[in-house]
Amino acid sequence: MNILVTGAAGFIGSSYVRMLLAAGAARGPEVSRVTVLDKLTYAGSLDNLDLTDPRLTFVRGDICDAPLVDRLVGQAGQIVHFAAESHVDRSIASADAFVRTNVTGTQTLLDAALRHGVERFVHVSTDEVYGSVESGSSTEQDPLDPNSPYAASKAASDLLALSYHRTHGLDVRVTRCCNNYGPRQFPEKIIPLFLTSLFDGHDVPLYGDGLNRRDWLHVEDHCAAVELVRTAGAPGRVYNISGGVELSNHELTGRLLAACGADWSRVRYVADRKGHDRRYSVDDSRARTELGYRPRHDFTSGLAATFAWYRDNRQWWEPLREAGKGVGRGVG
Ligand code: NAD
């Protein structure tokens, strides 16, 4: 079976493809070939993929390019859709690319999936679609209440994907995951931004009072959950995915400073992000009970390994940080 993975030159999609291609990792119908469709925006890098693997085909292209999408979807048994504009700060600066890629791109893929009778379509959404949750945790039944243009565009694509199941019977499955961390995350998001800034002797900018709270999950645990949803999930079903590690940005900053042997004199408190959601939290008991989902990475050792990866792979992040400069302050 050929599986089409969109956006897999980016952080999470590339980790998913590495997992798929690792010997014996695929749990469902045999994955014999993986086709990656990625536009290689500022966030995508071919260094994230092993292009020497004969089972992997890389196609540089846009998910909004209907003829290209039609051709690739026609050759695919299943689709796992990661491609998106993913950085909240960029969506505040300009929402154009977010609406185009996240909404129109998803619709282009869904239409092609329908035309070609694709067997399964996994849509990778986010916990940010629920909006800020002051207390408790969002369940899959909760209404969506996104606040940033990024979250609104993801909510639109999430609902559009589900509508193709309800209206057309397409086998769509949706994941809504919390903040990811791990190697190969573009150095504009808080963990790699702070680590690489501290390595180079720069200060780090902390938004507002630093008390916004996020739930953290290692990228490999997210990918394992996506694979569970692809292979064992149910059509039309939404699955929240949590890391169970809730930290304020202040607490996270303290951990990153400690990892780098730095102190609080390196932190600059900066004006808060517009419309900054205070807290995200999802209840993932459905994924746990129905799919047996359990995160494997412990946060302390996962963060230590992430620190070591950025310390040892300067050649990966240095050019990207130069290219990505000037937008936002990195909080996820
Ligand atoms: P990323 O920004 O690292 O990667 C996105 C990839 O999509 C890049 O390789 C980019 O080149 C590609 N892309 C962008 N526009 C495209 C287009 N028009 N056509 C084809 N390719 C295009 O993002 P990520 O952090 O890996 O996130 C992947 C998915 O997971 C996204 O859908 C995001 O909303 C979702 N998600 C992310 C997180 C997180 O913490 N990073 C959490 C939950 C959900």
* Nearest residue to 180 (alpha-carbon basis) of 225, 234, 123: 225
Per-residue burial over 9-45, b if 16 or more Cβ lie within 10 Å, else e, is bbbbbbbbbbbbbeeeebeeeebebbbbbbbebebbb
Helix (H) or strand (E) holding 246: strand 246-248
- The 10s digit of each residue's pLDDT in 263-318 is 999 999 999 999 999 999 999 999 999 999 999 999 999 999 999 999 999 999 99
Q: What is the pLDDT of residue 323?
A: 75
Whole-number Å distance between alpha carbons of 113 and 116 = 5
Whole-number Å distance between alpha carbons of 39 and 6 = 9
Q: What is the pLDDT of residue 205?
A: 95
* Cβ-Cβ contacts under 8 Å for 115 (sequence gap 6 or more): 70, 73
Q: What is the pLDDT of residue 265?
A: 97
Nearest residue (by CA) to ligand 1, atom 36, is 126
| CA dist 164 → 11, 115, 167 (Å) | 27, 12, 5
- Please state the atom number of ligand 1 nearest to the C-alpha of residue 9: 9
Q: How many CB atoms lie within 10 A of CB 168?
A: 12
8 Å CB contact between 306 and 188: no
Q: What is the pLDDT of residue 25?
A: 55
Whole-number Å distance between alpha carbons of 200 and 198 = 5
Report the sign of the C-alpha dihedral through residues 2, 11, 170, 113, in that order.
negative
Residues classed as catalytic: 127-128, 150
Whole-number Å distance between alpha carbons of 240 and 287 = 7
Instruction: Please tell me the distance between residue 83's alpha carbon and the centre of ligand 1 in angstroms.
Output: 5
The torsion defined by the Cα of 302, 306, 307 and 312, in degrees rounded to 10, comes to 140
Q: What is the pLDDT of residue 322?
A: 80
What predicted TM-score, i.e. pTM, was given to this entire model? 0.96
Instruction: Please tell me the distance between residue 5's alpha carbon and the centre of ligand 1 in angstroms.
Output: 11
Whole-number Å distance between alpha carbons of 9 and 46 = 6
Low-confidence ranges of the chain (pLDDT < 70): 23-30, 324-332
Q: How many CB atoms lie within 10 A of CB 225?
A: 25
Name residue 218's beta-bridge partners. Answer: 181
Q: What is the pLDDT of residue 277?
A: 94
8 Å CB contact between 128 and 85: no
**What domains appear along the chain, each with residue ranges and CATH number?**
2-180+216-241 (3.40.50.720), 187-214+246-272+299-323 (3.90.25.10)
- Give residue ranges with CB within 6 A of ligand 1: 6-7, 9-13, 37-41, 43-44, 62-64, 82-86, 101, 105, 124, 126, 154, 177, 179-180, 186, 332
Q: What is the pLDDT of residue 78?
A: 97
